[in-house]
Structure 1
């Protein structure tokens, strides 16, 4: 089973320059998704290899979407499977890729202990029962395997996604304002496909779940020296932006 590695993780570092590049790409997330998600996928491979070897690993990407992460993880040597509930998202780059399953993250259609790595990026805030999905990810991961979950926190600058920063006045109000302004609902509909998930909730779930050791909790896009923000209760909700929870199943 893949285990801890020192290479190629040594080629990835949570530097300030890396954070600046990601935030620049993030500005074009909707207008040029290929640029943003391609960069994020490559960065994700580097970040995950800090904790586990991908070469030879069988992995599941929960909410994998149209395939930006498929190429990056396959190139790193993983056998990549993806699950998504939205067929439209899956076909966003054309033909749906082999190894793709349509299903719910809150009820994963896989047996217990099926994968070396269970990964999810920016999906948890889009499901009605986020911690049920997190428990499902733990269930399908093999003992000794890694679970990597990251999500956009509600009180961060991008918590309302395209309705930001009006989500600070309430998700329903921000959705209604967007509809008035653009003549249609946002892609991410508060209460249907977008939910308020906080930093505190993620840290609490990681601390109280019993199935895995917590390897790391980090503000995903920040430089390494900025991890201290997670220790400050109110500040962490605003500046974390995206929280990553890394666990190793017992």
Structure 2
């Protein structure tokens, strides 16, 4: 397995580029998710070598991250519960299997890296998913877990910012305005996950060490906000948690 790359620098310009691409997500999803995948893989490569690494992409969806991980030299296997999502943009990009994030179809300790982007808030038991990610990672391997926290301005996804008044209320408002229910339905495919609870989960585990916890889309100088309870839940938008699995 290759060595980690040079330190990744998250600049203010990079934040604006991601924001600009996000605004075009609906009109040009391939451009947005392609940019996100390239940026995220560069970030991940600062923590662990990817060339020759075995990587599991949990909640791989249409395979944008799987493709970039493969381009970085990784042997990548994606898993997603939705077969339709896997083929939404054509044939699967790399190896991909249908399976649940709550019971990953991989053996214990089989991955050098277990990766997930924006999936944790979509499963009914986020801690079971997180536990599964640790399980399939070998000792010394890396877990990269990113998710949108509920109290962020985008916590309700397409129902935002009305989720601050309650998830069910926000969903009803969305349906009245658009004539259809939101894709991400509160209590079914969208669940509230907090940064505080996620950090507490990591601290409870004796077999992982936190390498980093940072706001995904912010400049590097904003990293300290994750250490401020309360404030972090609102201004972080999306948390990246990077763990090293330790020896049993």
TM-score range with shorter-chain normalisation? over 0.9
Cα contact 1:206–1:245 (8 A) shared by 2: no
Q: Does 1:106 align with 2:136?
A: no
Counterpart of 1:233 in structure 2 is: 229
Counterpart of 2:19 in structure 1 is: 23
Counterpart of 1:213 in structure 2 is: 209
Q: Does 1:44 align with 2:40?
A: yes
Counterpart of 1:120 in structure 2 is: 116
Structure 1 stretches (4+) deviating beyond 6 angstroms? none
Counterpart of 1:61 in structure 2 is: 57
| Structure-1-length-normalised TM-score | 0.95
Give the alignment's Cα RMSD to 1 decimal.
1.2
Cα contact 1:118–1:141 (8 A) shared by 2: yes
Q: Does 1:242 align with 2:238?
A: yes
Cα contact 2:64–2:93 (8 A) shared by 1: no
CA deviation string 1:189-244 (max 9, x = no partner) = 11110001111111111222122111111111111110111121111010000001
Q: Structure 1, unaligned stretches of length 5 or more?
A: none
* Cα separation, 1, equivalents of 2:20 and 2:176: 28
* Cα separation, 1, equivalents of 2:205 and 2:199: 10
Which one of 62, 81, 87 corresponds to residue 85 of structure 1? 81
- How far the C-alpha of 1:98 sits from its partner, in A, is 4.3
* Cα separation, 2, equivalents of 1:214 and 1:221: 19
Cα contact 2:67–2:94 (8 A) shared by 1: no
Cα contact 2:149–2:239 (8 A) shared by 1: yes
Q: Does 1:175 align with 2:137?
A: no
